[in-house]
């Protein structure tokens, strides 16, 4: 998928949710077919949503068994405004020197990880490409919509 195609399916009104330091929920498929959803830190480079993961966790096994994922980000100031990115993990790279997870720590906590918190477990960076999105584009000032008002979806979802 090219950068232009990725940009086309991302609603401009919700792009700030990708660019800010918001905690997302990553849904993966377990080997038994059940879904698993966990909060994650992520970074958006304009093409990929990137996450850090240890090789010892179930989530890593899920990503390597089935690369289909969904990343859901909720606006912390308006829980009715969100962006869901559905896609696939295009690449997984070793994070030998912990540089990426340290960058995420600086982004989310304002500092690099203290040495005492380093698990010394092998880490990887997973890059997720966007295939489709779902979003509620309500502005921060908007009044939350009633529950029976369905969210708008990108053209890629229809």
CA 96, 6, 108, 64 dihedral sign is: negative
Note the Cα 32 to chain centre separation in Å: 23
pLDDT tens string 61-115: 999 999 999 999 999 999 999 999 999 999 999 998 889 999 999 999 888 776 5
Helix residue ranges per DSSP H, 2-147: 3-9, 15-19, 58-65, 99-109
Q: How confident is the model at residue 116 (pLDDT cuts 50, 70, 90)?
A: low
Taken in order of first residue, the domains within the chain and their CATH numbers are 3-139 (2.30.110.10)
User: What number is the average pLDDT over the span 126-130?
Assistant: 96
| pTM for this entry | 0.78
CA proximity to 75, closest of 135, 125, 124: 135
């Amino acid at each position: 998928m090219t950068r232009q195609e990725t940009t086309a399916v991302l609603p401009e009104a919700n792009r700030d949710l990708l660019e800010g330091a918001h905690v997302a929920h990553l849904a993966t498929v377990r080997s038994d077919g059940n879904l698993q959803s966990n909060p994650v830190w992520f970074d958006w480079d304009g093409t990929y949503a990137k996450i850090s993961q240890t090789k010892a966790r179930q989530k890593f096994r899920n990503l390597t068994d089935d690369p289909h994922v969904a990343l859901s980000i909720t606006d912390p100031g308006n829980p009715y405004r969100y962006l869901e990115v559905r896609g696939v993990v295009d690449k997984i790279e070793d994070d030998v020197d912990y540089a990426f997870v340290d960058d995420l720590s600086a982004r989310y906590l304002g500092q690099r990880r203290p040495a005492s918190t380093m698990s010394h477990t092998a880490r990887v960076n997973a890059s997720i490409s966007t295939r489709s999105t779902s979003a509620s584009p309500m502005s921060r000032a908007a009044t939350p919509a009633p529950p029976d008002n369905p969210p708008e979806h990108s053209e890629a979802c229809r």
